[in-house]
Amino acid sequence: MELTKKIVEGMPKPNSGQMFVWDEKLTGFGLRITPTKKTYVVQGRVRVNGKRQERRVSLGEHGIITLQEARKKAIKELSAMGEGKDPVSEKNVQQPIP
Protein backbone atom coordinates (compact mmCIF):
# COMPACT_ATOMS: atom_id res chain seq x y z
CA MET A 1 0.00 0.00 0.00
CA GLU A 2 1.08 3.59 -0.50
CA LEU A 3 1.71 5.28 2.83
CA THR A 4 -0.63 8.17 3.51
CA LYS A 5 -1.10 10.31 6.61
CA LYS A 6 -4.41 8.53 7.31
CA ILE A 7 -2.79 5.09 7.07
CA VAL A 8 0.21 6.10 9.22
CA GLU A 9 -1.97 7.57 11.94
CA GLY A 10 -4.38 4.63 11.83
CA MET A 11 -1.75 1.91 12.22
CA PRO A 12 -1.99 0.30 15.67
CA LYS A 13 1.13 0.07 17.83
CA PRO A 14 2.27 -3.43 18.84
CA ASN A 15 2.33 -4.40 22.52
CA SER A 16 5.99 -5.33 22.20
CA GLY A 17 8.73 -5.47 19.59
CA GLN A 18 8.48 -3.64 16.29
CA MET A 19 6.71 -3.95 12.99
CA PHE A 20 7.32 -2.40 9.59
CA VAL A 21 4.93 -1.10 6.96
CA TRP A 22 6.55 -0.56 3.56
CA ASP A 23 5.43 1.92 0.93
CA GLU A 24 4.61 0.44 -2.48
CA LYS A 25 5.21 3.70 -4.33
CA LEU A 26 8.78 4.31 -3.11
CA THR A 27 10.72 1.06 -2.69
CA GLY A 28 12.74 1.04 0.52
CA PHE A 29 10.64 3.69 2.27
CA GLY A 30 8.60 2.65 5.26
CA LEU A 31 7.38 3.09 8.78
CA ARG A 32 8.79 1.33 11.86
CA ILE A 33 6.16 1.02 14.58
CA THR A 34 7.08 0.26 18.20
CA PRO A 35 4.93 0.35 21.34
CA THR A 36 5.94 3.99 21.94
CA LYS A 37 6.37 5.63 18.52
CA LYS A 38 6.21 5.55 14.75
CA THR A 39 9.42 6.34 12.88
CA TYR A 40 9.95 6.81 9.16
CA VAL A 41 12.79 4.69 7.78
CA VAL A 42 14.53 4.01 4.50
CA GLN A 43 16.30 0.77 3.62
CA GLY A 44 18.64 0.08 0.75
CA ARG A 45 21.78 -1.77 -0.27
CA VAL A 46 25.30 -0.46 -0.49
CA ARG A 47 28.60 -2.06 -1.38
CA VAL A 48 30.89 -2.34 1.66
CA ASN A 49 34.31 -3.94 1.20
CA GLY A 50 33.14 -5.55 -2.02
CA LYS A 51 29.93 -7.00 -0.52
CA ARG A 52 26.40 -5.67 -0.89
CA GLN A 53 24.88 -5.04 2.52
CA GLU A 54 21.48 -3.85 3.70
CA ARG A 55 21.35 -0.51 5.46
CA ARG A 56 18.37 0.97 7.30
CA VAL A 57 18.31 4.63 8.27
CA SER A 58 15.84 6.39 10.56
CA LEU A 59 14.49 9.55 8.96
CA GLY A 60 12.45 10.99 11.82
CA GLU A 61 9.55 10.38 14.12
CA HIS A 62 5.99 10.76 12.83
CA GLY A 63 4.59 13.97 14.27
CA ILE A 64 8.03 15.57 14.41
CA ILE A 65 8.41 15.37 10.63
CA THR A 66 5.63 14.98 8.09
CA LEU A 67 5.15 12.11 5.70
CA GLN A 68 6.11 14.40 2.81
CA GLU A 69 9.34 15.47 4.53
CA ALA A 70 10.20 11.84 5.28
CA ARG A 71 9.57 10.84 1.67
CA LYS A 72 11.92 13.61 0.43
CA LYS A 73 14.62 12.50 2.89
CA ALA A 74 14.14 8.88 1.76
CA ILE A 75 14.70 9.83 -1.88
CA LYS A 76 17.94 11.62 -0.94
CA GLU A 77 19.17 8.67 1.14
CA LEU A 78 18.32 6.12 -1.56
CA SER A 79 20.07 8.27 -4.15
CA ALA A 80 23.18 8.50 -1.97
CA MET A 81 23.15 4.72 -1.44
CA GLY A 82 22.81 4.26 -5.19
CA GLU A 83 25.96 6.34 -5.61
CA GLY A 84 27.79 4.01 -3.23
CA LYS A 85 27.62 6.08 -0.05
CA ASP A 86 27.24 4.01 3.11
CA PRO A 87 25.09 5.94 5.62
CA VAL A 88 26.41 3.88 8.54
CA SER A 89 30.06 4.64 7.74
CA GLU A 90 29.28 8.32 7.20
CA LYS A 91 27.40 8.53 10.50
CA ASN A 92 30.37 6.97 12.36
CA VAL A 93 32.77 9.46 10.75
CA GLN A 94 30.56 12.43 11.66
CA GLN A 95 29.93 11.26 15.23
CA PRO A 96 32.98 9.39 16.54
CA ILE A 97 32.31 6.91 19.31
CA PRO A 98 33.96 8.07 22.57
pLDDT at 93: 53
Range of the domain at 21: 5-74
The tally of domains found in the chain comes to 1
- Any domain includes 69: yes
**2-32 tens-digit pLDDT:** 999 999 999 999 999 999 999 999 999 999 9
- Any domain includes 13: yes
- Any domain includes 14: yes
How high does pLDDT run on average in the chain? Answer: 88
**41-72 tens-digit pLDDT:** 999 988 777 788 888 999 999 999 999 999 99
pLDDT at 48: 74
Domain CATH for 62: 3.30.160.390
Name the pLDDT band for 1 (thresholds 50, 70, 90): confident
* Residues 6+ positions from 83 with CB-CB distance below 8 Å: none
- Any domain includes 40: yes
In terms of DSSP H, where are the helices of the chain? 5-10, 67-82, 87-94
- Any domain includes 58: yes
- Residue pair 81/46 in contact by the 8 Å Cβ criterion: yes
- Residue pair 52/44 in contact by the 8 Å Cβ criterion: no
User: Counting beta carbons within 10 angstroms of the beta carbon of residue 15, is it exposed (0 to 12), middle (13 to 18) or buried (19 or more)?
Assistant: exposed
Instruction: Please state the pTM of the whole predicted model.
Output: 0.84
pLDDT at 98: 58
DSSP state letter for 52: E
